């Protein structure tokens, strides 16, 4: 992209030169790069309307998405507290991040723990629930889709009022009350205080609300699979649902698999809000601390912008790396 | 030989008869479990105080009351800004944002899908990769840019920074890719200008995809409290979600919290129910190829 942008900017001056040269000398096609640019500019001139239409989107995109990201990457090499001028300190932020900041390591391992469970489980669950929904009678499909999609629509955070009661620490909590009645425990489990329970509770609530956009795209993707393929496969002796899943459904929904993977990856590594809503921030012994919350601390509370940027860069690199891997695995074009 | 095949197929057809019923029933149970917390939210919102703190806890409500909702109003009666002002702000911002975002996204998706201009492929690849960008990772530079443009403390701050929504633009573009180019070529032959091709052909075709964008962005903007916290200093410009976030804390206000949560979540569900069929139509083309 950057290369292309540069090209766009540089073109006019180059082209004017080549134009004059050609007029003056009558020589043509000596300089292939210049005539290439000239050709390109002419081509661009024909697409004025196209550029005008995409302009608002890309101006906003560059100003509010790309530029902050680049600025953030640059700031990660500085000490900057938003008051005095940034001071260049090279990789000291990163050094501190990985060597000295034990809280970051805690946040990092919590996030990884969360992402490794919630990412794959919600991804596979989305796929299979969508697959099952595809087998039910057509009339019932919208109802089922709504039942599974609604939790993510409300967001786990908005529903924390429900989950706080379900997992309440005292005997008034639904789970504690049920376990006490069943005689499985003698005193209530401190779900939202006990360090060992905090992450599992966050994960359970997240999984409940994790059938989101990816799930919808699967449901829709399955309806799009050509039904004639099933008949053709039946003639070839493929009759069981699972064989059909492997030989027809999965290959046919490959594009949705990638789209959903991308959304799942970004979603699971940016966990934060739900932890804050359930166990508070700071949580007991930082058991619910995630990279996003840690980042928020340094950016929003302590104003150590350079350091916060380093955290952001590490997180972005992690997501981008895993995302690119998904692209490579699931897309033929990469 | 042929006879055997037919038997086999008949058997296979027969075996398929009861499977959908079994799946429907099992999936129905799972669906109820998935939906249960939402039902509980509705129930809690109508529970009187004495039923909220029963032991053992009880799921259903025996004396439903509207007291939680009136509490919500009375909580705000002694603050500077009434409850309805927050709600008005949220509705206004949501409508304006979604409208503007869709206009911008639709405008961009048409050339990216149907014009082969230099840079089109690269720009779309950029958008695809931008799906992996973590919004919020670059909070401080964004803050500097937004305040530098003097967007802070206005309604615009809710709308402009999020206009370039990559997920929506991506969906719109993928949807338009499915429309054969020949339709546009035919239009061109009939003498339509580019602008007419866009407004008369592309826009009507994109209606379903636009509905999808509405449902995908609606919960995000409706539930967003961070913009109010970060950029707004005047109470009367803040949103309902912000007001909700100030309510949080303590089980004492559990009833009022549930009522507020209900107000927060019901609109998203209604929007989804209304637009579900068009959403499905679009999402079928959502894949990254």
CA of B225 to nearest chain A CA: how many angstroms apart?
A: 11
Confidence check: pLDDT of A11 > 50: no
Question: Taking a C-beta distance cutoff of 8 angstroms, is the pair A154, A245 a contact?
Answer: no
Exposure string over B246-270, b if 16+ CB within 10 A, otherwise e:
ebbeeeebbbbbbbbbbbbbebbbe
Indicate if B34 and B86 belong to the same structural domain.
Answer: no
Instruction: State whether B192 and B110 are in the same domain.
Output: yes
Which of A148, A223, A309 lies closest to B34 in CB terms? Answer: A148
Q: Give B-chain residues touching A155 at CB under 8 angstroms.
A: 219, 223
φ/ψ of B136, rounded to 5, equals: 100, -15
Among A53, A153, A316, whose Cβ lies nearest the Cβ of B137?
Answer: A316
Among A residues 193-212, those touching chain B with beta carbons less than 8 Å apart: 208, 211
CB contact B286 to A (< 8 Å): yes
In the numeric block, which tokens belong to residue B240? 């309902």
CA B229 from centre of chain: 21
Which residues in chain A are contacts of B53 at CB distance < 8 A? Answer: 172
The secondary structure element, H or E, covering residue A78 is: strand A78-79
Least confident window among A97-111, A176-190, B184-198, B252-266 = B252-266
At B223 the pLDDT is 85
> Which residues of chain A does CATH 1.10.3720.10 include?
95-330
Q: Give pLDDT, residue B14.
A: 57
pLDDT of A39 above 60 = yes
CA B207 to each of CA B40, B201, B282: distance values in angstroms, whole numbers, following the listed order: 35, 11, 10
Q: How far is A27 from chain B (nearest CA, A)?
A: 26
Residue B244 belongs to a domain: yes
Q: Do residues B87 and B36 share a domain? A: no
The whole-angstrom separation of Cα A27 and Cα A23 is 8
Give the total number of structural domains in chain B: 2
Q: Is residue B54 part of a domain?
A: no
Give the pLDDT score at B277: 79
Q: At what angle do helices A48-61 and A32-46 cross, to 10 degrees?
A: 90
Query: Nearest-CA neighbor of B217 among B177, B144, B168, B253?
Result: B168
Can you give the pTM of this predicted structure? 0.82
Inter-residue contact A22 to A30 (CB < 8 Å):
no
| Burial (CB count <10 Å: 0-12, 13-18, 19+), residue B194 | buried
Q: Tell me if B28 is assigned to some domain.
A: yes
> Which chain B residue shows the shortest CA-CA distance from A239?
B12
* Cβ burial A289-298 (10 Å sphere, 16+ → b, else e): bbbbbbbbbb
| Residue B58 domain-assigned (yes or no) | no
* pLDDT tens per residue across span B251-265: 456 777 888 888 888
Minimal Cα–Cα distance from B50 to chain A, Å?
13
Residue B231 near residue B162, CB atoms below 8 Å: no
* pLDDT score of A52 more than 50: yes
CB B127 to CB A61 under 8 A?
A: yes
Q: How far is B67 from chain A (nearest CA, A)?
A: 17
- What CATH number corresponds to the domain at position B249? 1.10.3720.10
Report the pLDDT value the prediction gives residue B10, as an integer from 0 to 100. Answer: 64
B38 and A151 within 8 Å at the Cβ level: the answer is yes
Q: Return the bridge partners of A298, or none.
A: none
Which residues does chain B have within 8 Å of residue A68's beta carbon, measured at their own beta carbons? 138, 141-142, 145
B4 — contact with chain A (CB < 8 Å)? no
Mean pLDDT over A208-226 rounds to: 86
Residue owning tokens 């009666």: B77
Q: Is the dihedral of CA A101, A107, A110, A114 positive or negative?
A: negative
- Residue from A64, A69, A70 to probe the interface with B (highest B Cβ count within 10 Å): A64
Across the interface, which of A54, A66, A150 has its CB nearest the CB of B108? A54
CA distance A28 to chain B (A): 23
CATH of region A95-330, choose from 1.10.3720.10, 1.10.760.10, 3.40.50.300, 3.10.150.10: 1.10.3720.10
Lowest mean pLDDT among A233-237, A324-328, B23-27, B135-139: B135-139
- In angstroms, rounded to a whole number, what is the distance separating the alpha carbons of residues B109 and B174? 9
What's the CA gap between B86 and B99, in Å, rounded? 20
Which pLDDT score, from 0 to 100, does residue A334 have?
A: 41
Residues 235-264 on A with a CB inside 8 Å of B are 235, 237, 239, 241, 253-259, 262-263
pLDDT at A177 over 70: yes
Phi, psi angle pair for B248, to nearest 5°: -55, 155
Looking at the complex, report in whole angstroms how far the Cα of residue B271 sits from the nearest Cα belonging to chain A: 10
Q: What is the distance between the alpha carbons of residues B173 and B121, in angstroms, rounded to a whole number?
A: 12
pLDDT at B57: 67
- The answer as to whether B71 is a domain residue is no
CB contact under 8 A, A312 and B138: yes
Q: What is the pLDDT of residues B83-127, one digit of tens each?
A: 788 889 999 999 999 999 999 999 999 999 988 888 888 999 999
Q: Does A86 touch chain B (CB under 8 A)?
A: no
Helices (H), chain A: 2-25, 32-46, 48-61, 67-75, 92-95, 102-135, 141-158, 160-166, 174-182, 195-208, 213-223, 227-235, 241-244, 250-252, 254-269, 273-279, 291-296, 305-330
Q: What is the mean pLDDT of residues B186-211?
A: 88
B122 touches chain A (CB under 8 A): yes
Q: Which residue of B has its CA nearest to A160?
A: B261
Rounded mean pLDDT of B181-200? 89
- The more confidently predicted of residues B61 and A267 is A267
Would you state the structure tokens that stand for residue A223, as one six-digit string?
A: 């309806």
Phi-psi category of B92—alpha, beta or left, where left has phi over 0 and alpha has psi -120 to 50? alpha
Give DSSP secondary structure letters for A167-211: T-SSTTSHHHHHHHHHTS-SS---TTT-HHHHHHHHHHHHHHT--
**Do B174 and B274 share a domain, yes or no?**
yes
ipTM value: 0.84
B257/A contact by beta carbon, under 8 A: yes
Q: Identify the sign of the CA torsion A250, A253, A257, A263.
A: negative
B34: closest CA of chain A, how far (Å): 6
The answer to whether B10 faces chain A, any CB pair under 8 Å, is no
In a domain, B66, yes or no: no
Query: Does any domain span residue B51?
Result: no
Rg value, chain B, Cα: 25
The predicted pLDDT at position B248 comes to 58
State the Cα–Cα distance between residues A67 and B146, nearest whole angstrom: 12
Mean pLDDT over B176-199 rounds to 88
**Residue with more model confidence, A311 or A36:** A311
CA A317 to chain centre: 12
State pLDDT tens for residues A79-115.
888 777 888 888 888 988 888 888 999 999 999 999 9
- Give the residue from chain B lying closest to A220, CA to CA: B284
Residues B180 and B230 in one domain: yes
Among A149, A158, A255, select the one facing B223 at the smallest CB separation: A158
Mean pLDDT of A223-229: 82
Distance spanning both ends of chain A, measured CA to CA: 16
User: Do B256 and B116 fall into the same domain?
Assistant: yes
**Backbone φ and ψ of A79, nearest 5°:** -95, 120
Q: Which of A191, A212, A190 is nearest to B215 (CA)?
A: A212
Mean pLDDT of chain B: 83
B 59-98 near A (Cβ less than 8 A): none
| Cβ of residue B275 closer than 8 Å to a chain A Cβ | no
Which range of A119-128, A166-175, B8-17, B268-277 scores highest in mean pLDDT? It is: A119-128
State the best of B34, B123, B188, B249 to mutate against chain A, taking most chain A CBs within 10 Å. B34
pLDDT value, residue A12: 46
**CB atoms near residue A106 (< 10 Å):** 16
pLDDT of A42 higher than 80: no
**H/E/C letters for each residue in chain B?**
CHHHHHHHHHHHHHHHHHHHHHHHHHHHHHHHHHHHHHHHHHHHHCCCHHHHCCCCCCCCCCCCCCHHHHHHHHHHHCCCCCHHHHHHHHHHHHHHHHHHHHHHHHHHHHHHHHCCCCCHHHHHHHHHHHCCCCCCCCHHHHHHHHHHCCCCCCCHHHHHHHCCCHHHHHHHHHHHHCCCHHHHHHHHHCCCCHHHHHHHHHHHHCHHHHHHHHHHHHHHHHCCCHHHHHHCCCHHHCCHHHHHHHHCCCHHHHHHHHHHHHHHHHHHHHHHHHHHHHHHHHHCCCCCC
User: Across residues B73-85, what is the average pLDDT?
Assistant: 74
A132 part of contact set with chain B, CB < 8 Å: yes
CB contact under 8 A, A71 and B141: yes
- A88 φ/ψ angles, rounded to the nearest 5 degrees: -75, 125
The residues in A 21-80 lying below 8 A from B, measured between CB atoms, are: 40, 43-44, 46-47, 49-51, 53-54, 56-58, 60-61, 63-69, 71-72, 75
Q: For residue B93, how many C-alpha atoms fall within 13 Å in the half-sphere facing its CB?
A: 31
Question: Considering chain A, what is the average pLDDT of its residues?
Answer: 82
Q: What is the DSSP letter of A292?
A: H
Nearest CA in chain B to A80: B140
* Cβ atoms within 10 Å, residue B86: 23
Q: Return the SS3 of A40.
A: helix
In this structure, the answer to whether residues B149 and B234 fall within a common structural domain is: yes
Range of the domain at B235: 81-283
Residues B142 and B237 in one domain: yes
Please give the pLDDT value at position B40.
85
B130 touches chain A (CB under 8 A): yes
> For residue B52, is it within any domain?
no
Structure tokens at A313: 């860069």
- Give the pLDDT band (50/70/90) at residue A156: low
Per-residue pLDDT at A63 exceeds 60? yes
């Amino acid at each position: 992209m950057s290369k292309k942008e540069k090209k766009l900017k540089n073109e006019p001056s180059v082209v004017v030169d080549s134009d004059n040269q050609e007029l003056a000398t009558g020589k043509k096609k000596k300089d292939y790069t210049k005539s290439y640019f000239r050709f390109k500019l002419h081509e661009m001139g024909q697409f004025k309307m196209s550029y005008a239409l995409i302009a608002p989107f890309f101006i906003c995109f560059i100003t509010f998405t790309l530029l902050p990201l680049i600025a953030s990457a640059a700031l990660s090499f500085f000490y900057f507290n938003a008051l005095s001028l940034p001071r260049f300190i090279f990789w000291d932020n990163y050094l501190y991040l990985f060597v000295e900041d034990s809280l970051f390591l805690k946040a990092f391992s919590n996030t990884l723990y969360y992402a490794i469970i919630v990412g794959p489980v919600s991804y596979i669950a989305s796929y299979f629930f969508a697959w099952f929904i595809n087998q039910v009678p057509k009339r019932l499909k919208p109802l089922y889709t709504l039942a599974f999609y609604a939790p993510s629509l409300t967001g786990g955070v908005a529903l924390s009022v429900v989950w706080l009661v379900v997992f309440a620490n005292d005997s008034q909590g639904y789970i504690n009350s049920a376990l006490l009645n069943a005689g499985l425990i003698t005193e209530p489990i401190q779900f939202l205080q006990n360090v060992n329970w905090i992450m599992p509770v966050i994960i359970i609530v997240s999984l409940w609300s994790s059938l989101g956009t990816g799930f919808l795209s699967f449901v829709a993707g399955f309806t799009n699979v050509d039904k004639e393929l099933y008949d053709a496969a039946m003639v070839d002796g493929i009759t069981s649902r699972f064989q059909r899943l492997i030989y027809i459904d999965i290959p046919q929904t490959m594009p949705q698999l990638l789209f959903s993977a991308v959304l799942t990856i970004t979603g699971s590594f940016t966990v934060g809000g739900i932890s804050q809503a359930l166990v508070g921030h700071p949580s007991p012994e930082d058991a619910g601390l995630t990279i996003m919350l840690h980042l928020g601390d340094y950016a929003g509370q302590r104003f150590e912008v350079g350091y916060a940027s380093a955290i952001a860069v590490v997180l972005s690199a992690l997501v981008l790396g895993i995302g690119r891997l998904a692209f490579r695995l699931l897309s033929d074009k990469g | 030989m042929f006879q055997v095949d037919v038997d086999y197929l008949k058997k296979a057809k027969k075996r398929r008869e009861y499977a959908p019923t079994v799946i429907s029933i099992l999936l129905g149970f799972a669906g109820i479990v998935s939906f249960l917390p939402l039902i509980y939210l509705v129930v809690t919102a109508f529970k009187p105080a004495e039923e909220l703190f029963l032991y053992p806890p009880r799921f259903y409500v025996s004396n439903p009351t509207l007291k939680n909702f009136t509490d919500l109003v009375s909580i705000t009666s002694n603050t500077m800004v009434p409850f309805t002002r927050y709600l008005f702000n949220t509705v206004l911002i949501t409508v304006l944002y979604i409208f503007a975002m869709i206009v911008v996204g639709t405008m961009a998706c048409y050339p990216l899908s149907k014009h082969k201009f230099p840079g089109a492929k690269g720009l779309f690849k950029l958008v695809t990769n931008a799906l992996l960008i973590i919004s919020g990772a670059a909070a401080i530079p964004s803050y500097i840019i937004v305040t530098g443009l003097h967007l802070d403390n206005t309604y615009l701050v809710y709308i402009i920074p999020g206009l370039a929504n990559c997920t929506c633009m991506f969906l719109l573009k993928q949807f338009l890719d499915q429309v054969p180019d020949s339709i546009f070529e035919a239009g061109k032959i009939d003498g339509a200008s580019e602008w007419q091709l866009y407004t008369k052909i592309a826009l009507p075709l994109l209606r379903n995809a636009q509905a999808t964008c509405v449902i995908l962005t609606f919960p995000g903007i409706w539930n967003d409290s961070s913009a109010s916290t970060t950029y707004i200093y005047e109470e009367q410009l803040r949103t309902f979600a912000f007001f909700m976030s100030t309510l949080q804390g303590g089980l004492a206000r559990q009833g009022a919290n549930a009522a507020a949560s209900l107000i927060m979540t019901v609109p998203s569900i209604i929007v989804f129910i209304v637009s579900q069929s068009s959403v499905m139509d679009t999402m079928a083309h959502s894949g990254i190829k």
